[in-house]
Amino acid sequence: MRAPAHRQVDSVFGALADPTRRRLVETLARGGTVTASGLAEQLPITRQAVSKHLSALRGADLVTSTRVGRETHYVLRPQPLDEAAQWIQMVGAEWDDRLGALRRSVEGRGTASR
């Protein structure tokens, strides 16, 4: 359980930075409409924009595209999400360690926010 490959973490956080993209991920997780233009109908933007966002998500391996007839279906791939969660958890753990060391050496200061 070591540090996740920064490469993937990079692309995942980059993909998740955009609110629209996160909304798409949410919808896909909820099992909503899986076609590009279907997703566009639920949003105030063009089908093209959605398509671009889906490309970005696919670039981060967060989504898989599958062509069915003349429409392409998109499926969520949550594994990269775990990667990001691991990064967060790792940072949190290091912080806790450091905080523990501080408390050990100083003792006091009731504000234990986390």
- Chain positions contacting its own copies, by CB under 8 A: 6, 9-10, 13-14, 16-17, 19, 22, 25-26, 28-31, 76-79, 81-82, 84-85, 87-89, 91-92, 94-95, 98, 101-102, 113-114
Choose the contact partner of 16 out of DNA, its own copies, none; CB within 5 to 8 A by kind. Answer: its own copies
72 binds DNA (CB under 7 A): yes
8 binds DNA (CB under 7 A): no
28 binds DNA (CB under 7 A): no
The residue among 70, 72, 21 whose CA lies nearest residue 43 is 21
All residues at 6 or more sequence positions from 96 whose CB lies less than 8 Å from its CB, including other chains: 114
Answer for the pair 71, 40: CB distance below 8 angstroms, yes or no: no
Q: What is the length of the chain? A: 114
Please report how close the Cβ of residue 36 comes to its own copies at its closest, in angstroms: 19
- Is 36 exposed, middle or buried, given 0-12, 13-18 or 19+ CB atoms closer than 10 A? buried
Strands 63-68 and 71-76: antiparallel
70 binds DNA (CB under 7 A): yes
The residues of the shown chain that bind DNA, judged by CB under 7 A, are 14, 17-18, 20-21, 35-38, 44-49, 51-53, 56, 65, 67, 69-72
